[in-house]
Structure 1
């Protein structure tokens, strides 16, 4: 996920407070504020705080560069490596960020040098957009620094997130428009989404198999039709099981819920898999849509109950895959075109979306090994 920072250091507390509270509500990662406001912010909520200065106060991230070479207050030295800001950054304890206003090519070069000595590099400017950011990303390849790009609008944030595919690691938003803060959060979530390749599997078998323990996962995220979780009996293949985001004749829609399958099944969580039976409140799971877009959701509750189960087998790339789901019309897979297919209506020959890796997994991690799962 791209990091979101909020600028709240350039005005009186009463003007900055609405920015800070909106940033907190929008899931921002850091607030850049004056050192004298740090304790006030801590009382508002749990968020990292960055402050400009030459000595560390109570902030989490010390930001050097303002009032120095970074903003032009002090001329850049002939030898950029001899910069006072770089010396301050190297001497400081804890997490350090460097701040540079890009006023020309020399400042761009200075930003790259400073970036080699800090944990974060905050770069801002007025008459530049993509090209300098591209150069800095390229110049700092291999360095552990994260680049935070200064923006004033959601449109600028969208460009910076996408630069050179990798994009900036985050943005520092400087605006008094509270609605813009909300827009940036939505863009950041979208920009941080990984994509999974989904394949089409053809159903071969659908039959009831009796009672078993099934897992219902309630998340803290509302899902749309076509979104759900990847679940399967084999670690290398998973069916896209849709959330209960549609009304039925029996129950109201519960778009936060995925009735995910039997306790033995695997569920996709980031780059790994976990057993459904292991999930608990506070864990993270991966939500996937019909285009392969992903996002992370927090588990709010897991219910394990005895229910009638149905075996579903399918074929993809010449291999047989399977899963067991509750035998109920509210349980749906996602079809080839993104539409729902209730398990009670499934027939051999129907096509559904699956994620197929073709690799086995050991303790949830993908490996090159011969493992036969039936």
Structure 2
């Protein structure tokens, strides 16, 4: 996940309090300022970065990160020595205006825990060079943006290697828009309409409920299947049930052997998921978003096998709990109870051409049935 640092120094006074509130609420990674007293009022959930002043004493700011401008090798060597001596909260700021300062930025990014870079010219090639230089370094690289539009361009450049963007927002709306731009983007999926061939009562087995840390939309679910080449869209418990309250964070997903389709064209077994695992929410229109597992519930329940076929003849299987309140999505985001499915019904799913090895697509011979 990329992160944001918010610079308070040039925020208009009329908006400063609102910007601070927005930054804390949006859980930005850090807030940069030149006034230790303002930084002392911030909660410990945000990094407090002091620029243009020495570290104050006796203000409860032991965790303060001090950001110092690096204009030459002498300053870099001093900061490097302090870091090697055990001082962790050190950050360097390098203004890149030419080739020597570009080299200095690369060296700083390799040497220090945090490096902020700002560029005189609009080209992003120098940023790419610093990213490459710092790729294997343990420190974090932050690029300063002059405005929100530039920040969004930098985020695209930061896809590999660099971690953060520093912005002085005009108002609180800029803070929220920046945080939204930094969210991990996941591509849409092509969903297809599958035709149900049969359902079969299997008897007792183990099924998995996925409880997530996010609220599902009514047309969202997860792609679950017995085979790596095909999945059915299981809907969340967002929709009302007659005998229990809704669980808008839950997917009654399927038997523990099943695959769940996730980020980066990778699958996981339901049995592998645990609190903190990333998963993929999928809408009936194919949109996707990354969410996080909060809890897995594995329980023995009667199971039901659903067999379906794609228009191209690909056979798909889903094994779920044999109960009326377990549902899948059909065309138009229609909500279908699995125990009422019958031959010829239509359900939404996804067909993949890749074979799988430990969840990753591979080009090898593999038959699943």
Q: Give the TM-score taking structure 1 as reference length.
A: 0.73
Q: Aligned pair 1:98/2:117, yes or no? A: yes
Q: Aligned pair 1:235/2:251, yes or no? A: no
CA distance in 1, matches of 2:89, 2:35: 7
Q: Aligned pair 1:315/2:334, yes or no? A: no
Q: Aligned pair 1:362/2:357, yes or no? A: yes
Asked whether the 8 Å contact 2:281–2:288 carries over to 1, the reply is: yes
The verdict on how the C-alpha distance between 1:8 and 1:193 changes in structure 2, with shifts beyond 3 A counting, is farther
The verdict on how the C-alpha distance between 1:151 and 1:289 changes in structure 2, with shifts beyond 3 A counting, is farther
The verdict on how the C-alpha distance between 1:367 and 1:178 changes in structure 2, with shifts beyond 3 A counting, is same
Q: Tell me how far 1:260 sits from its aligned partner.
A: 0.6
Aligned to 1:141: none
Aligned to 2:168: 174
The verdict on how the C-alpha distance between 1:63 and 1:197 changes in structure 2, with shifts beyond 3 A counting, is farther
1:101-136, Cα deviation, whole Å (9 max, x unpaired): 4xxxxx235x63465235799xxxxxxxxxxxxxxx
Aligned to 2:54: none
Q: Tell me how far 1:204 sits from its aligned partner.
A: 0.9
Alignment of 1:185-224 (within 5 A): 185-189=179-183, 192-224=185-217
The verdict on how the C-alpha distance between 1:200 and 1:2 changes in structure 2, with shifts beyond 3 A counting, is farther
CA distance in 1, matches of 2:26, 2:351: 35
Q: Aligned pair 1:116/2:129, yes or no? A: yes
CA distance in 2, matches of 1:371, 1:36: 62
1:263-305, Cα deviation, whole Å (9 max, x unpaired): 1111123232111122222222111112222222221111111
Asked whether the 8 Å contact 1:195–1:293 carries over to 2, the reply is: yes
How many corresponding residue pairs? Answer: 328
Q: Tell me how far 1:243 sits from its aligned partner.
A: 0.8
1:206-257, Cα deviation, whole Å (9 max, x unpaired): 2222121111111110001111111111122221111111112222221111
Of 65, 69, 80 in structure 2, the residue corresponding to residue 53 of structure 1 is 69
CA distance in 2, matches of 1:149, 1:29: 14
Asked whether the 8 Å contact 2:92–2:108 carries over to 1, the reply is: no
Aligned to 2:26: 26
Of 297, 307, 310 in structure 2, the residue corresponding to residue 303 of structure 1 is 297
Aligned to 1:330: 325
Asked whether the 8 Å contact 1:98–1:118 carries over to 2, the reply is: no
The verdict on how the C-alpha distance between 1:197 and 1:209 changes in structure 2, with shifts beyond 3 A counting, is same
The verdict on how the C-alpha distance between 1:112 and 1:358 changes in structure 2, with shifts beyond 3 A counting, is closer
Asked whether the 8 Å contact 1:96–1:118 carries over to 2, the reply is: no
User: Which consecutive residues of structure 2, in runs of 5 or more, have no partner in the other structure?
Assistant: 50-64, 80-86, 135-139
Of 281, 289, 292 in structure 2, the residue corresponding to residue 287 of structure 1 is 281
Q: Tell me how far 1:147 sits from its aligned partner.
A: 8.5
SS of the aligned residue for 1:181 comes to helix
Please, what is the CA RMSD of the aligned residues? 3.8
CA distance in 2, matches of 1:17, 1:357: 50
CA distance in 2, matches of 1:180, 1:220: 26
Asked whether the 8 Å contact 2:116–2:143 carries over to 1, the reply is: no
Of 92, 103, 127 in structure 2, the residue corresponding to residue 62 of structure 1 is 92
CA distance in 2, matches of 1:48, 1:355: 45
CA distance in 2, matches of 1:35, 1:89: 29
User: Which consecutive residues of structure 1, in runs of 5 or more, have no partner in the other structure?
Assistant: 71-75, 102-106, 122-144
1:182-215, Cα deviation, whole Å (9 max, x unpaired): 34434543x7232222222211112222121111
SS of the aligned residue for 1:116 comes to helix
Alignment of 1:335-346 (within 5 A): 335-346=330-341
Aligned to 1:138: none
CA distance in 1, matches of 2:151, 2:129: 26
Aligned to 1:8: 8
